[in-house]
Chain A
Amino acid sequence: MISGKSLLIAGRVFKELRRDYRTMFLFILSPTFVLILLKGMMGHSPADFNHFGLITAGLFPTAPAFLFSAFALTQDHNHRTLEHLLTTPVSKLDVILGYVIAFVLPALVQIGLMLSVAFGLLGLQVAGKWWEVGLIAIVNCILGLAIGLMVKLFARNEFQLTKVLAMIGVPHLMISGFFRPPSLMVGWMAFLSHIAPWRYGVELLDQFQRHAWPTAAAWFNFGVIAFIVALLFTVSSVTVLNRRTA
Protein backbone atom coordinates (compact mmCIF):
# COMPACT_ATOMS: atom_id res chain seq x y z
CA MET A 1 0.00 0.00 0.00
CA ILE A 2 2.88 2.34 0.78
CA SER A 3 4.25 3.18 -2.61
CA GLY A 4 7.51 4.84 -3.48
CA LYS A 5 5.61 7.97 -4.41
CA SER A 6 4.17 8.49 -0.95
CA LEU A 7 7.64 7.98 0.51
CA LEU A 8 8.99 10.68 -1.77
CA ILE A 9 6.20 13.04 -0.75
CA ALA A 10 6.84 12.18 2.89
CA GLY A 11 10.50 13.03 2.43
CA ARG A 12 9.64 16.44 1.05
CA VAL A 13 7.09 17.29 3.76
CA PHE A 14 9.53 16.10 6.39
CA LYS A 15 12.30 18.29 4.98
CA GLU A 16 9.90 21.22 5.06
CA LEU A 17 9.14 20.50 8.71
CA ARG A 18 12.76 20.04 9.63
CA ARG A 19 13.86 23.28 8.03
CA ASP A 20 11.98 25.30 10.63
CA TYR A 21 13.88 24.33 13.78
CA ARG A 22 11.36 26.07 16.02
CA THR A 23 8.56 23.85 14.73
CA MET A 24 10.61 20.71 15.20
CA PHE A 25 11.69 21.74 18.68
CA LEU A 26 8.11 22.38 19.79
CA PHE A 27 6.80 19.29 18.06
CA ILE A 28 9.25 16.96 19.77
CA LEU A 29 9.52 18.53 23.20
CA SER A 30 6.08 19.97 23.99
CA PRO A 31 4.35 16.75 25.22
CA THR A 32 7.28 15.94 27.53
CA PHE A 33 7.33 19.47 28.84
CA VAL A 34 3.59 19.50 29.55
CA LEU A 35 3.88 16.16 31.38
CA ILE A 36 6.65 17.48 33.61
CA LEU A 37 4.53 20.54 34.34
CA LEU A 38 1.60 18.30 35.14
CA LYS A 39 3.71 16.29 37.56
CA GLY A 40 4.63 19.53 39.30
CA MET A 41 1.01 20.59 39.46
CA MET A 42 -0.35 17.29 40.75
CA GLY A 43 2.63 15.95 42.66
CA HIS A 44 0.62 15.88 45.88
CA SER A 45 -2.17 13.72 44.49
CA PRO A 46 -0.71 10.73 42.62
CA ALA A 47 -4.15 9.38 41.67
CA ASP A 48 -4.94 12.56 39.75
CA PHE A 49 -1.51 12.58 38.16
CA ASN A 50 -1.96 8.99 36.99
CA HIS A 51 -5.31 9.89 35.45
CA PHE A 52 -4.36 13.19 33.77
CA GLY A 53 -0.84 12.00 33.04
CA LEU A 54 -2.13 9.03 31.06
CA ILE A 55 -4.61 11.14 29.10
CA THR A 56 -1.98 13.79 28.41
CA ALA A 57 0.59 11.21 27.35
CA GLY A 58 -1.83 9.52 24.99
CA LEU A 59 -3.73 12.52 23.67
CA PHE A 60 -1.31 15.44 23.72
CA PRO A 61 0.71 14.29 20.67
CA THR A 62 -2.45 14.98 18.67
CA ALA A 63 -2.14 18.73 19.32
CA PRO A 64 1.16 19.50 17.55
CA ALA A 65 0.15 17.23 14.66
CA PHE A 66 -3.14 19.12 14.42
CA LEU A 67 -1.43 22.53 14.41
CA PHE A 68 1.51 21.81 12.17
CA SER A 69 -0.22 19.67 9.56
CA ALA A 70 -2.68 22.47 8.88
CA PHE A 71 0.19 24.92 8.40
CA ALA A 72 2.18 22.51 6.26
CA LEU A 73 -0.77 21.91 3.97
CA THR A 74 -1.52 25.64 3.73
CA GLN A 75 2.06 26.32 2.74
CA ASP A 76 1.90 23.61 0.11
CA HIS A 77 -1.25 25.25 -1.17
CA ASN A 78 0.18 28.75 -1.22
CA HIS A 79 3.43 27.75 -2.85
CA ARG A 80 1.42 25.84 -5.42
CA THR A 81 3.37 22.69 -4.56
CA LEU A 82 0.13 20.79 -4.26
CA GLU A 83 -1.01 21.92 -7.70
CA HIS A 84 2.24 20.71 -9.23
CA LEU A 85 2.09 17.45 -7.32
CA LEU A 86 -1.40 16.67 -8.49
CA THR A 87 -0.48 17.19 -12.15
CA THR A 88 2.00 14.33 -11.82
CA PRO A 89 0.82 10.72 -11.70
CA VAL A 90 0.45 10.60 -7.91
CA SER A 91 -2.87 9.76 -6.36
CA LYS A 92 -4.46 11.68 -3.50
CA LEU A 93 -3.92 8.63 -1.35
CA ASP A 94 -0.18 8.99 -2.00
CA VAL A 95 -0.30 12.59 -0.83
CA ILE A 96 -2.22 11.73 2.33
CA LEU A 97 0.04 8.77 3.10
CA GLY A 98 3.01 11.03 2.49
CA TYR A 99 1.76 13.45 5.11
CA VAL A 100 1.02 10.63 7.54
CA ILE A 101 4.53 9.18 7.20
CA ALA A 102 6.16 12.61 7.47
CA PHE A 103 4.36 13.29 10.73
CA VAL A 104 4.53 9.84 12.28
CA LEU A 105 8.33 9.62 12.01
CA PRO A 106 9.08 12.65 14.20
CA ALA A 107 6.12 11.61 16.37
CA LEU A 108 7.97 8.37 17.15
CA VAL A 109 10.84 10.40 18.59
CA GLN A 110 8.42 12.70 20.37
CA ILE A 111 6.43 9.85 21.88
CA GLY A 112 9.51 7.82 22.76
CA LEU A 113 10.99 10.72 24.67
CA MET A 114 7.69 11.47 26.36
CA LEU A 115 7.09 7.87 27.44
CA SER A 116 10.58 7.41 28.83
CA VAL A 117 10.19 10.57 30.89
CA ALA A 118 6.64 9.70 31.98
CA PHE A 119 7.26 6.12 33.02
CA GLY A 120 10.92 6.45 33.96
CA LEU A 121 11.36 9.79 35.70
CA LEU A 122 7.87 10.86 36.68
CA GLY A 123 6.64 7.49 37.91
CA LEU A 124 3.40 7.38 35.96
CA GLN A 125 1.45 4.29 37.00
CA VAL A 126 -1.26 2.75 34.86
CA ALA A 127 -2.54 -0.77 34.34
CA GLY A 128 -1.76 -0.73 30.60
CA LYS A 129 1.71 -1.30 29.20
CA TRP A 130 3.87 1.61 28.11
CA TRP A 131 3.88 0.44 24.50
CA GLU A 132 0.10 0.28 24.49
CA VAL A 133 0.00 3.94 25.52
CA GLY A 134 2.60 4.62 22.83
CA LEU A 135 0.51 2.96 20.12
CA ILE A 136 -2.56 4.95 21.16
CA ALA A 137 -0.46 8.11 21.07
CA ILE A 138 0.50 7.33 17.46
CA VAL A 139 -3.12 6.65 16.55
CA ASN A 140 -4.09 9.97 18.13
CA CYS A 141 -1.30 11.70 16.27
CA ILE A 142 -2.81 10.46 12.99
CA LEU A 143 -6.22 11.62 14.20
CA GLY A 144 -4.80 15.08 14.89
CA LEU A 145 -3.27 15.11 11.42
CA ALA A 146 -6.60 14.16 9.86
CA ILE A 147 -8.41 16.96 11.72
CA GLY A 148 -5.62 19.38 10.82
CA LEU A 149 -5.84 18.66 7.08
CA MET A 150 -9.60 18.97 7.27
CA VAL A 151 -9.38 22.37 9.00
CA LYS A 152 -7.70 23.73 5.90
CA LEU A 153 -11.18 23.64 4.42
CA PHE A 154 -12.19 26.63 6.53
CA ALA A 155 -9.22 28.88 5.92
CA ARG A 156 -7.63 30.31 2.79
CA ASN A 157 -4.35 31.54 4.28
CA GLU A 158 -2.22 31.25 7.38
CA PHE A 159 -3.71 34.36 8.92
CA GLN A 160 -7.18 32.85 8.88
CA LEU A 161 -5.82 29.48 9.85
CA THR A 162 -4.52 30.74 13.20
CA LYS A 163 -8.05 31.82 14.12
CA VAL A 164 -9.75 28.69 12.85
CA LEU A 165 -7.36 26.37 14.68
CA ALA A 166 -8.03 28.08 17.99
CA MET A 167 -11.79 28.23 17.40
CA ILE A 168 -11.88 24.51 16.70
CA GLY A 169 -9.14 23.24 18.98
CA VAL A 170 -9.95 24.78 22.35
CA PRO A 171 -13.74 24.15 22.57
CA HIS A 172 -13.13 20.69 21.13
CA LEU A 173 -10.72 19.94 23.95
CA MET A 174 -13.19 21.18 26.54
CA ILE A 175 -16.10 19.03 25.41
CA SER A 176 -13.91 15.99 24.76
CA GLY A 177 -13.74 15.15 28.46
CA PHE A 178 -10.07 16.01 28.81
CA PHE A 179 -10.68 18.12 31.92
CA ARG A 180 -13.80 16.49 33.30
CA PRO A 181 -15.33 13.21 32.14
CA PRO A 182 -18.56 13.61 30.12
CA SER A 183 -20.47 11.68 32.79
CA LEU A 184 -19.98 14.64 35.16
CA MET A 185 -21.07 17.25 32.60
CA VAL A 186 -24.52 18.71 32.21
CA GLY A 187 -26.72 16.59 29.92
CA TRP A 188 -26.59 18.60 26.67
CA MET A 189 -22.85 18.99 26.88
CA ALA A 190 -22.34 15.28 27.52
CA PHE A 191 -24.46 14.69 24.43
CA LEU A 192 -22.43 17.19 22.44
CA SER A 193 -19.25 15.38 23.42
CA HIS A 194 -20.29 12.42 21.27
CA ILE A 195 -19.39 14.38 18.16
CA ALA A 196 -15.95 15.40 19.47
CA PRO A 197 -13.38 13.01 17.93
CA TRP A 198 -10.95 13.49 20.82
CA ARG A 199 -13.57 12.15 23.22
CA TYR A 200 -12.95 8.67 21.85
CA GLY A 201 -9.23 9.15 22.32
CA VAL A 202 -9.79 10.05 25.96
CA GLU A 203 -12.10 7.09 26.55
CA LEU A 204 -9.74 4.70 24.81
CA LEU A 205 -6.94 5.82 27.11
CA ASP A 206 -9.15 5.67 30.15
CA GLN A 207 -9.68 1.95 29.55
CA PHE A 208 -5.96 1.35 30.00
CA GLN A 209 -6.06 3.08 33.35
CA ARG A 210 -7.61 -0.01 34.88
CA HIS A 211 -7.10 -2.81 32.37
CA ALA A 212 -3.79 -4.17 31.19
CA TRP A 213 -5.23 -5.54 27.95
CA PRO A 214 -7.66 -3.98 25.47
CA THR A 215 -11.25 -4.44 26.62
CA ALA A 216 -14.32 -4.49 24.40
CA ALA A 217 -14.84 -0.80 25.14
CA ALA A 218 -11.27 -0.06 24.14
CA TRP A 219 -11.73 -1.82 20.79
CA PHE A 220 -14.99 0.05 20.26
CA ASN A 221 -13.35 3.45 20.84
CA PHE A 222 -10.43 2.45 18.65
CA GLY A 223 -12.88 1.50 15.92
CA VAL A 224 -14.62 4.86 16.17
CA ILE A 225 -11.30 6.67 15.87
CA ALA A 226 -10.30 4.59 12.84
CA PHE A 227 -13.67 5.37 11.28
CA ILE A 228 -13.30 9.11 11.95
CA VAL A 229 -9.78 9.14 10.51
CA ALA A 230 -10.95 7.32 7.36
CA LEU A 231 -13.92 9.66 7.03
CA LEU A 232 -11.85 12.83 7.47
CA PHE A 233 -9.21 11.67 4.99
CA THR A 234 -11.90 10.87 2.46
CA VAL A 235 -13.54 14.26 2.90
CA SER A 236 -10.22 16.10 2.65
CA SER A 237 -9.21 14.16 -0.42
CA VAL A 238 -12.24 15.40 -2.33
CA THR A 239 -12.20 18.94 -0.94
CA VAL A 240 -8.83 20.18 0.29
CA LEU A 241 -6.69 18.18 -2.09
CA ASN A 242 -8.49 19.33 -5.19
CA ARG A 243 -6.70 21.07 -8.00
CA ARG A 244 -8.02 24.55 -8.54
CA THR A 245 -6.76 24.69 -12.10
CA ALA A 246 -8.21 22.40 -14.70
Chain B
Amino acid sequence: MIRLRLPLAIAHRVLIDFFRDRRSRVVLMVTPGILIILGRYMYSTPAAFDRTGGLMLGVFPALSMFLTGSTALVHERREGTLEKVLTTPASRKDLVAGYVIAAVGASLAQAVVTVTLAYEVCQLTTQTPAWLIYLLTALCGIFGMSLGICASAVSKSEGEAEMFLPGAMVPQLLVSGVFWPVSRMDTWVHWLADFLPITALANTMTLARLHSYGGVSMVYSLIAMAGVIAISLTVAVRVVGIRAVTDL
Protein backbone atom coordinates (compact mmCIF):
# COMPACT_ATOMS: atom_id res chain seq x y z
CA MET B 1 0.00 0.00 0.00
CA ILE B 2 1.46 3.28 -1.05
CA ARG B 3 0.75 6.23 1.17
CA LEU B 4 -0.27 9.13 -1.00
CA ARG B 5 -0.02 12.00 1.43
CA LEU B 6 3.71 12.62 1.02
CA PRO B 7 3.87 12.16 -2.78
CA LEU B 8 0.85 14.45 -3.14
CA ALA B 9 2.49 17.15 -1.05
CA ILE B 10 5.65 16.84 -3.11
CA ALA B 11 3.67 16.87 -6.36
CA HIS B 12 1.91 20.04 -5.26
CA ARG B 13 5.21 21.78 -4.66
CA VAL B 14 6.72 20.46 -7.91
CA LEU B 15 3.74 21.70 -9.92
CA ILE B 16 4.06 25.14 -8.39
CA ASP B 17 7.74 25.01 -9.34
CA PHE B 18 6.93 23.98 -12.92
CA PHE B 19 4.55 26.83 -13.47
CA ARG B 20 6.25 29.57 -11.50
CA ASP B 21 8.82 30.57 -14.07
CA ARG B 22 7.39 32.17 -17.20
CA ARG B 23 9.81 30.31 -19.45
CA SER B 24 8.82 26.97 -17.95
CA ARG B 25 5.15 27.81 -18.45
CA VAL B 26 5.79 28.53 -22.10
CA VAL B 27 7.79 25.33 -22.63
CA LEU B 28 5.08 23.27 -20.95
CA MET B 29 1.91 24.78 -22.33
CA VAL B 30 2.73 26.68 -25.52
CA THR B 31 5.79 25.23 -27.26
CA PRO B 32 4.37 21.83 -28.32
CA GLY B 33 1.33 23.60 -29.80
CA ILE B 34 3.48 26.07 -31.71
CA LEU B 35 5.65 23.27 -33.06
CA ILE B 36 2.60 21.39 -34.27
CA ILE B 37 1.22 24.46 -36.01
CA LEU B 38 4.61 25.07 -37.64
CA GLY B 39 4.67 21.41 -38.62
CA ARG B 40 1.24 21.71 -40.17
CA TYR B 41 2.07 24.74 -42.29
CA MET B 42 5.26 23.24 -43.62
CA TYR B 43 2.76 21.26 -45.72
CA SER B 44 0.19 22.82 -47.98
CA THR B 45 -2.71 20.42 -47.31
CA PRO B 46 -4.04 18.89 -44.08
CA ALA B 47 -3.89 15.43 -45.68
CA ALA B 48 -0.15 15.71 -46.32
CA PHE B 49 0.31 16.71 -42.69
CA ASP B 50 -1.61 13.73 -41.26
CA ARG B 51 1.27 11.26 -41.43
CA THR B 52 3.68 13.37 -39.41
CA GLY B 53 0.95 15.18 -37.46
CA GLY B 54 -0.02 12.07 -35.53
CA LEU B 55 3.60 11.45 -34.62
CA MET B 56 4.21 15.06 -33.62
CA LEU B 57 1.32 14.83 -31.17
CA GLY B 58 3.35 12.21 -29.33
CA VAL B 59 6.89 13.40 -29.89
CA PHE B 60 6.67 17.11 -29.11
CA PRO B 61 4.86 16.76 -25.77
CA ALA B 62 7.38 14.08 -24.82
CA LEU B 63 10.26 16.39 -25.72
CA SER B 64 8.83 19.31 -23.81
CA MET B 65 8.24 17.19 -20.72
CA PHE B 66 11.70 15.66 -21.08
CA LEU B 67 13.15 19.15 -21.03
CA THR B 68 11.13 20.11 -17.96
CA GLY B 69 11.90 16.87 -16.13
CA SER B 70 15.56 16.72 -17.01
CA THR B 71 16.37 20.01 -15.35
CA ALA B 72 13.91 19.79 -12.46
CA LEU B 73 15.79 17.43 -10.10
CA VAL B 74 19.16 18.97 -10.88
CA HIS B 75 17.74 22.37 -10.11
CA GLU B 76 16.34 21.11 -6.83
CA ARG B 77 19.69 19.67 -5.85
CA ARG B 78 21.35 22.97 -6.73
CA GLU B 79 18.93 24.93 -4.61
CA GLY B 80 19.19 22.49 -1.71
CA THR B 81 15.50 21.61 -1.78
CA LEU B 82 16.27 17.98 -2.51
CA GLU B 83 18.43 17.65 0.59
CA LYS B 84 15.74 19.19 2.73
CA VAL B 85 13.01 16.95 1.33
CA LEU B 86 15.12 13.86 1.95
CA THR B 87 15.69 14.79 5.61
CA THR B 88 11.91 14.67 6.18
CA PRO B 89 10.08 11.33 6.47
CA ALA B 90 9.68 11.40 2.68
CA SER B 91 11.69 8.65 1.00
CA ARG B 92 13.30 8.69 -2.42
CA LYS B 93 10.33 6.69 -3.66
CA ASP B 94 7.94 9.35 -2.38
CA LEU B 95 10.01 11.97 -4.12
CA VAL B 96 9.91 10.26 -7.50
CA ALA B 97 6.23 9.39 -7.02
CA GLY B 98 5.58 13.05 -6.34
CA TYR B 99 7.26 13.95 -9.58
CA VAL B 100 5.22 11.37 -11.46
CA ILE B 101 1.95 12.72 -10.06
CA ALA B 102 3.04 16.23 -11.05
CA ALA B 103 3.90 14.88 -14.50
CA VAL B 104 0.42 13.38 -14.86
CA GLY B 105 -1.18 16.71 -13.98
CA ALA B 106 1.07 18.77 -16.24
CA SER B 107 0.76 16.28 -19.13
CA LEU B 108 -3.02 16.31 -19.00
CA ALA B 109 -3.10 20.11 -19.06
CA GLN B 110 -0.59 20.17 -21.88
CA ALA B 111 -2.49 17.53 -23.87
CA VAL B 112 -5.69 19.58 -23.71
CA VAL B 113 -3.96 22.54 -25.34
CA THR B 114 -1.87 20.60 -27.85
CA VAL B 115 -4.48 18.12 -29.09
CA THR B 116 -7.20 20.76 -29.33
CA LEU B 117 -4.89 22.87 -31.48
CA ALA B 118 -4.03 19.87 -33.63
CA TYR B 119 -7.67 19.06 -34.34
CA GLU B 120 -9.14 22.55 -34.56
CA VAL B 121 -6.36 24.58 -36.18
CA CYS B 122 -4.40 21.94 -38.03
CA GLN B 123 -7.37 19.78 -39.10
CA LEU B 124 -5.69 16.56 -38.10
CA THR B 125 -7.72 13.42 -38.79
CA THR B 126 -7.30 10.22 -36.83
CA GLN B 127 -9.17 6.92 -36.87
CA THR B 128 -9.09 6.70 -33.09
CA PRO B 129 -11.61 8.97 -31.35
CA ALA B 130 -10.28 12.25 -29.98
CA TRP B 131 -10.71 11.43 -26.26
CA LEU B 132 -8.26 8.55 -26.55
CA ILE B 133 -5.79 10.74 -28.44
CA TYR B 134 -5.92 13.22 -25.55
CA LEU B 135 -5.05 10.41 -23.15
CA LEU B 136 -2.31 9.02 -25.40
CA THR B 137 -0.72 12.45 -25.78
CA ALA B 138 -0.77 12.84 -22.01
CA LEU B 139 0.85 9.42 -21.71
CA CYS B 140 3.58 10.53 -24.12
CA GLY B 141 4.14 13.53 -21.87
CA ILE B 142 4.51 11.27 -18.83
CA PHE B 143 6.85 9.08 -20.88
CA GLY B 144 9.03 12.09 -21.69
CA MET B 145 8.99 13.25 -18.08
CA SER B 146 10.10 9.82 -16.82
CA LEU B 147 13.06 9.81 -19.20
CA GLY B 148 13.77 13.38 -18.14
CA ILE B 149 13.72 12.55 -14.43
CA CYS B 150 16.09 9.67 -15.13
CA ALA B 151 18.45 11.96 -17.06
CA SER B 152 18.18 14.51 -14.29
CA ALA B 153 19.07 12.00 -11.58
CA VAL B 154 22.35 11.12 -13.29
CA SER B 155 23.42 14.70 -14.09
CA LYS B 156 25.42 17.04 -11.90
CA SER B 157 24.35 20.36 -13.39
CA GLU B 158 21.68 21.85 -15.63
CA GLY B 159 24.29 22.09 -18.37
CA GLU B 160 24.95 18.36 -18.18
CA ALA B 161 21.24 17.58 -18.20
CA GLU B 162 20.78 19.77 -21.26
CA MET B 163 23.41 17.71 -23.11
CA PHE B 164 20.96 14.82 -23.13
CA LEU B 165 18.83 16.80 -25.54
CA PRO B 166 21.32 16.92 -28.43
CA GLY B 167 23.09 13.77 -27.26
CA ALA B 168 20.16 11.43 -26.72
CA MET B 169 16.89 12.99 -27.80
CA VAL B 170 17.78 14.51 -31.19
CA PRO B 171 19.12 11.23 -32.65
CA GLN B 172 15.97 9.51 -31.38
CA LEU B 173 13.85 12.24 -32.93
CA LEU B 174 15.57 11.66 -36.27
CA VAL B 175 14.87 7.94 -36.38
CA SER B 176 11.37 8.25 -34.89
CA GLY B 177 9.88 8.87 -38.32
CA VAL B 178 8.82 12.49 -37.81
CA PHE B 179 11.11 13.69 -40.56
CA TRP B 180 11.61 10.61 -42.68
CA PRO B 181 9.39 7.52 -43.01
CA VAL B 182 10.79 4.63 -40.99
CA SER B 183 9.93 2.13 -43.72
CA ARG B 184 12.48 3.71 -46.06
CA MET B 185 15.39 3.55 -43.65
CA ASP B 186 18.28 1.08 -43.83
CA THR B 187 18.05 -2.15 -41.87
CA TRP B 188 20.71 -1.19 -39.34
CA VAL B 189 18.75 1.93 -38.44
CA HIS B 190 15.64 -0.24 -38.03
CA TRP B 191 17.63 -2.48 -35.75
CA LEU B 192 18.87 0.53 -33.79
CA ALA B 193 15.37 1.99 -33.61
CA ASP B 194 14.05 -1.22 -32.09
CA PHE B 195 16.14 -0.49 -29.01
CA LEU B 196 15.30 3.20 -28.70
CA PRO B 197 12.57 4.20 -26.25
CA ILE B 198 10.99 6.64 -28.69
CA THR B 199 10.06 3.83 -31.09
CA ALA B 200 7.43 2.57 -28.65
CA LEU B 201 5.95 6.06 -28.54
CA ALA B 202 6.07 6.52 -32.31
CA ASN B 203 4.41 3.14 -32.91
CA THR B 204 1.63 3.92 -30.47
CA MET B 205 0.81 7.22 -32.10
CA THR B 206 1.02 5.87 -35.65
CA LEU B 207 -1.22 2.90 -34.87
CA ALA B 208 -3.73 5.13 -33.09
CA ARG B 209 -3.89 7.35 -36.15
CA LEU B 210 -4.27 4.52 -38.65
CA HIS B 211 -6.64 2.12 -36.89
CA SER B 212 -9.65 2.73 -34.74
CA TYR B 213 -8.49 2.11 -31.15
CA GLY B 214 -5.13 1.04 -32.49
CA GLY B 215 -5.65 -2.72 -32.58
CA VAL B 216 -3.68 -5.42 -30.79
CA SER B 217 -0.24 -4.14 -31.79
CA MET B 218 -0.97 -0.88 -30.02
CA VAL B 219 -1.41 -2.83 -26.80
CA TYR B 220 2.12 -4.18 -27.25
CA SER B 221 3.60 -0.74 -27.88
CA LEU B 222 1.70 0.61 -24.87
CA ILE B 223 3.24 -2.16 -22.77
CA ALA B 224 6.67 -1.19 -24.16
CA MET B 225 6.02 2.43 -23.17
CA ALA B 226 4.98 1.37 -19.68
CA GLY B 227 8.16 -0.68 -19.50
CA VAL B 228 10.36 2.28 -20.43
CA ILE B 229 8.58 4.47 -17.88
CA ALA B 230 9.03 1.81 -15.17
CA ILE B 231 12.73 1.28 -15.94
CA SER B 232 13.63 4.96 -16.03
CA LEU B 233 11.74 5.66 -12.80
CA THR B 234 13.44 2.71 -11.09
CA VAL B 235 16.84 4.03 -12.12
CA ALA B 236 15.84 7.48 -10.90
CA VAL B 237 14.75 6.14 -7.50
CA ARG B 238 18.01 4.21 -7.15
CA VAL B 239 20.30 7.02 -8.16
CA VAL B 240 18.73 10.26 -7.00
CA GLY B 241 19.50 9.97 -3.28
CA ILE B 242 22.97 8.57 -3.76
CA ARG B 243 24.05 11.50 -5.88
CA ALA B 244 22.54 13.90 -3.40
CA VAL B 245 24.72 12.48 -0.62
CA THR B 246 27.97 12.42 -2.58
CA ASP B 247 27.45 16.02 -3.56
CA LEU B 248 27.63 17.14 0.04
Residues of the A chain whose Cβ atoms lie less than 8 Å from the Cβ of B75: 159
**A159 to B186, Cβ gap below 8 A?**
no
Q: Measured between C-beta atoms, what is the minimum distance from B131 to chain A in Å?
A: 28
Q: Among A87-95, A170-178, A200-208, A225-233, which stretch is in contact with chain B? A: A170-178
Residues of the B chain whose Cβ atoms lie less than 8 Å from the Cβ of A162: 67, 70-71, 158, 161-162
**A67 to B23, Cβ gap below 8 A?**
no
Q: Mark A170-191, 1 if CB is under 8 A from B, else 0.
A: 1100110001100011101100
Q: Main SS of the interface on chain A?
A: helix
**B27 to A38, Cβ gap below 8 A?**
no
Residues of the B chain whose Cβ atoms lie less than 8 Å from the Cβ of A184: 42-44
Given the contacts A171-B34, A174-B35, A186-B41, A44 and B186 also touching, CB distance less than 8 Å: yes
**A22 to B175, Cβ gap below 8 A?**
no
Given the contacts A170-B35, A185-B42, A189-B41, A159 and B175 also touching, CB distance less than 8 Å: no
Residues of the B chain whose Cβ atoms lie less than 8 Å from the Cβ of A171: 31, 34-35, 38
Task: Confirm or deny: A167 has a beta carbon within 8 angstroms of a beta carbon on chain B.
Answer: yes
Q: Measured between C-beta atoms, what is the minimum distance from B242 to chain A in Å?
A: 19
Task: Confirm or deny: A43 has a beta carbon within 8 angstroms of a beta carbon on chain B.
Answer: yes
From 11 to 41 in chain B, residues with beta carbon under 8 angstroms from any chain A beta carbon are 21, 23-24, 26-27, 31, 34-35, 38-39, 41
Give 14 CB contacts A-B under 8 Å. Answer: A34-B171, A37-B189, A39-B186, A40-B189, A44-B184, A44-B186, A162-B162, A163-B23, A166-B27, A166-B67, A167-B26, A171-B31, A171-B38, A186-B44
Identify the B interface with A (CB < 8 A).
21, 23-24, 26-27, 31, 34-35, 38-39, 41-44, 63-64, 67, 70-71, 75, 78, 157-163, 165-167, 170-171, 174-175, 179-180, 184-186, 188-189, 192
Add 10 more A-B contacts to A159-B75, A189-B41 (CB < 8 A): A20-B160, A40-B185, A41-B174, A41-B184, A44-B185, A67-B162, A155-B23, A163-B21, A163-B26, A188-B41
